[in-house]
Amino acid sequence: MAVAPWLGDLVAQIDARLRAVFAEAAERARATSPRAHELAEAVAELTLRGGKRLRPAALFASMRAVDEDAPIERALDASVALELLQSYLLIQDDWMDDDLERRGGPSVHAVLRRQVGNERLGDSLAILAGDLAAGMAWELLAAAPFPRGRAREALKAFGEMHWEVVLGQQLDLVGHADVGLTHRLKTGSYTVRGPMQLGALLGDATAAQLDALQHFADPLGVAFQVRDDLLGSFGRRGDVGKPIGADLRAGKRTALIAEAQSLLSEADGALLDRVLGNASAPDEDVERATDALLRSGVRERLEARIDALASEANAALASASLSEQGRTMLGELVELLVHRDR
Amino acid sequence: MAVAPWLGDLVAQIDARLRAVFAEAAERARATSPRAHELAEAVAELTLRGGKRLRPAALFASMRAVDEDAPIERALDASVALELLQSYLLIQDDWMDDDLERRGGPSVHAVLRRQVGNERLGDSLAILAGDLAAGMAWELLAAAPFPRGRAREALKAFGEMHWEVVLGQQLDLVGHADVGLTHRLKTGSYTVRGPMQLGALLGDATAAQLDALQHFADPLGVAFQVRDDLLGSFGRRGDVGKPIGADLRAGKRTALIAEAQSLLSEADGALLDRVLGNASAPDEDVERATDALLRSGVRERLEARIDALASEANAALASASLSEQGRTMLGELVELLVHRDR
């Protein structure tokens, strides 16, 4: 889909603010210790390398829905805080999964391992780089220009995001059976609901507006997760279905797999069970299981669910007292979050 | 030394508040996910197992120096935030050094490794337990009862502590030559200056009072570090000098070692260099080096420095506009921080 003009502007301004924040961090690093810049640079490099800035988009649309004259400037520090929280989580996530790549470059622990020539030390330094990012995120949020009396609510919302995402990561690591809950904790509050709450507070929202935005955010957050699952399993929307054999062999029990199991014939269900998490499953079985998944109709079912959730989100806006400009942006946000290609 | 009565009261109240905070975290964990309590309990267990609550003592004395009628209650949440920040740092520190013991029990990664029967997974969960503690610390601080308009300064001070201590840990890990800077970053701002600043803000301090307390805190922080070094090298004050051979063999280049080198004869200096960081140094050499350190007068020199720093701290109070009660407490704080036995 084409990117809305407001979003292009926002991303450019966020990136400019990120660069300013990292220039200031470099200054501060120099004043702190002769090695501090190494950690600060690792965080900067990862954060500036990419990222779709979806969370800032949710925050900004929400702020404008409440106060259509709020200047973009007001949204920047809280947006940067969200991006830094994200960097902190990615750094830890990559280390925990030992993923050596992220956003088309080396992950932070991979960079630091190479830099110091020692795996264990590099890993410890990566954890510290994450700590630095988290601390900076909290600092920025604490200093962001919330209207009088709203900063405390914003910090509370940020704490809730931090808490949930850490516990979602725990469930993911221990391979908890309730994949829906894992996904909800990992992405729910800190991708959609949390950023929208921060945006609404920046706009000095009434209780009714906060409530309406939450009723918008909750189904949208779930739709975002379902899209994530579909993209993880089948690739881009235009694709006929990229081979998902590797995922099956790795045994990642996604929400999609759980859903598919209820749709499969007994024989196909048994086949899927044999392949799932079985690194030495014969190629032929993996291909047949992939085929069964595609034929099961799970993809169409999840696409339909996404549409229903998106309608539910849009309906929550209908009765709310929000600006026209904001409504339009929120509608575009729905498209952005649930009809994305990556 | 005898513990001042106010300190005993304070520690009891802090511990009660810690238990209340952890009971609430257990509730919140149950509401979040079926596994959340495992991380919350690991944090609670470490935090409640011990700790001298020195940081809350610094915070409280400082609050009372500014506002002698401030109720103890007002100091509790910020104190708990300091203890949780401390737990987060200890969890990470122990994992990075692979220390399996802390405060007379297993360290958090040791507990979690055993709990899940997998070293790598246990380590990742320990990092997440630390994250939880850090998030809770920020949340508590953000909600603490700072007088109107002072919360932002308090959060800024907390951010500064977080930043410095992470970068101190980095220098420690990479074995940076400037051990004074490492120590200053690791303990300076978050042991004395930061807690005192938070206490002063809780008491709604004037700029002049904040300034006086900082002039008190800075030499006190350095004295605290020197005492730490002495205790690490020679043990309790009454001891004749516990064998420090293990430290020498491990090659830990403490501030004490650096200081001693300037006092030793050329031959003894060369001997120390041969032993330092040399795991296979003969016992006889290690004993002679230990002996040389004791004879060098470094201990007496550092004791004299501590006394001078304590006097400097006390002098900073003389001209300041602080309550009599607070002055007395701050004087007792000096004793507590620099004449401690462990």
The tokens describing B167, both together, are 């970068």
Query: B137: nearest CA in chain A?
Result: A159
Torsion angle of alpha carbons B133, B136, B137, B140, nearest 10°? -160
The answer to whether the CB atoms of B156 and A169 lie below 8 A apart is: no
A residues 94-123 lying closer than 8 A (beta carbon) to B? 95-96, 116, 121
The answer to whether the CB atoms of A138 and B143 lie below 8 A apart is: no
Q: Among A95, A125, A174, select the one facing B170 at the smallest CB separation.
A: A125
| Cβ within 8 Å of residue B28, ≥6 positions away | A163, B36, B40
In what helix (H) or strand (E) does residue A108 lie, and over which residues does it extend? helix A108-116
**B135 contacts in A (CB within 8 Å)?**
159, 162-163, 166
- Are B185 and B164 in contact, with CB atoms under 8 Å apart? yes
Cα separation of A120 and B168, whole Å? Answer: 18
- Assign B243 a pLDDT band (cuts: 50, 70, 90): very low
Q: What is the pLDDT of residues B45-56, one digit of tens each?
A: 999 998 889 999
**H helical segments located in chain B:** 5-32, 36-49, 54-66, 72-97, 108-116, 119-143, 151-174, 179-183, 194-202, 207-234, 245-250, 255-261, 266-275, 283-295, 298-318, 324-338
**Other C-beta atoms lying within 10 Å of the C-beta of residue B258:** 15
Residues with pLDDT less than 50, chain A: 238-243
* pLDDT score for A236: 57
* pLDDT score for B58: 97
Check residues B180 and B272 and name the one with the higher pLDDT: B272
* pLDDT score for A235: 67
Q: What is the pLDDT of residues A241-278, one digit of tens each?
A: 444 666 777 777 677 888 888 899 999 999 988 888 88
* pLDDT score for B245: 66
Closest residue by Cα to residue B122 from B95, B87, B85: B95
B142 close contact with A: CB closer than 8 A: yes
Check residues A258 and B25 and name the one with the higher pLDDT: B25
Q: Are strands B101-102 and A101-102 parallel, antiparallel or unpaired?
A: unpaired
Closest residue by Cα to residue A78 from A22, A14, A161, A148: A14
**Complex confidence, ipTM:** 0.91
**Residue B240 clears pLDDT 50, i.e. is over it:** no
Task: Give, in order, the Cα–Cα distances in Å from B48 to each of B45, B101, B176.
Answer: 5, 15, 33
Q: What is the pLDDT of residues B147-158, one digit of tens each?
A: 999 999 999 999
B residues 36-95 lying closer than 8 A (beta carbon) to A? 36, 38-39, 92, 95
Q: Among A39, A134, A163, select the one facing B170 at the smallest CB separation.
A: A39
**Residue B241 clears pLDDT 50, i.e. is over it:** no
The tokens describing A35, both together, are 């090695």
In whole numbers, what is the pLDDT of chain B averaged over residues? Answer: 91
Helix (H), strand (E) counts: chain A:
16, 2
* pLDDT score for A133: 98
* pLDDT score for B42: 97
Q: What is the pLDDT of residues B181-196, one digit of tens each?
A: 888 898 878 899 999 9
In what helix (H) or strand (E) does residue A102 lie, and over which residues does it extend? strand A101-102
**Other C-beta atoms lying within 10 Å of the C-beta of residue B11:** 17
**B152 contacts in A (CB within 8 Å)?**
142-143, 151
Cα separation of B58 and B187, whole Å? Answer: 13
Q: Burial code of A251-276, b = ≥16 C-beta within 10 A, e = fewer?
A: ebbbbbbebbbeebeeebbebbeebb
Closest residue by Cα to residue A198 from A84, A82, A89: A82
- SS3 assignment, position A106: strand
Query: A131: nearest CA in chain B?
Result: B166
Q: What is the DSSP letter of A177?
A: S
| Cβ within 8 Å of residue B160, ≥6 positions away | B189, B194
Query: Above pLDDT 70, what percent of chain B?
Result: 95
The tokens describing A315, both together, are 């309906």
Cα separation of A300 and A263, whole Å? Answer: 12
Q: Among B34, B152, B163, select the one facing A143 at the smallest CB separation.
A: B152
In whole numbers, what is the pLDDT of chain A averaged over residues? Answer: 91
The tokens describing B150, both together, are 């002072």
**Other C-beta atoms lying within 10 Å of the C-beta of residue A47:** 25
Q: What is the pLDDT of residues A134-172, one digit of tens each?
A: 999 999 999 999 999 999 999 999 999 999 999 999 998
Looking at CA atoms only, how far is residue A7 from chain B in angstroms? 30
* pLDDT score for B242: 44
The answer to whether the CB atoms of A132 and B39 lie below 8 A apart is: no
- Assign B319 a pLDDT band (cuts: 50, 70, 90): confident
Closest residue by Cα to residue B302 from B246, B260, B337, B248: B260
The tokens describing A87, both together, are 């960097």
- Are B158 and B81 in contact, with CB atoms under 8 Å apart? yes
Q: Among B34, B125, B158, select the one facing A173 at the smallest CB separation.
A: B125
Query: A28: nearest CA in chain B?
Result: B163
Closest residue by Cα to residue B298 from B289, B286, B310: B289
Q: What is the pLDDT of residues B93-140, one digit of tens each?
A: 999 999 999 999 999 999 999 999 999 999 999 999 999 999 999 999
Q: Among A92, A128, A136, select the one facing B169 at the smallest CB separation.
A: A128
Q: What type of residue is B271?
A: L
Handedness of CA B206, B209, B215, B218 (dihedral sign): negative
Cα separation of A119 and A109, whole Å? Answer: 8
Residue of B24, B35, B198 best to disrupt the A interface, most CBs of A under 10 A: B35
Cα separation of B160 and A122, whole Å? Answer: 24
Query: A133: nearest CA in chain B?
Result: B163
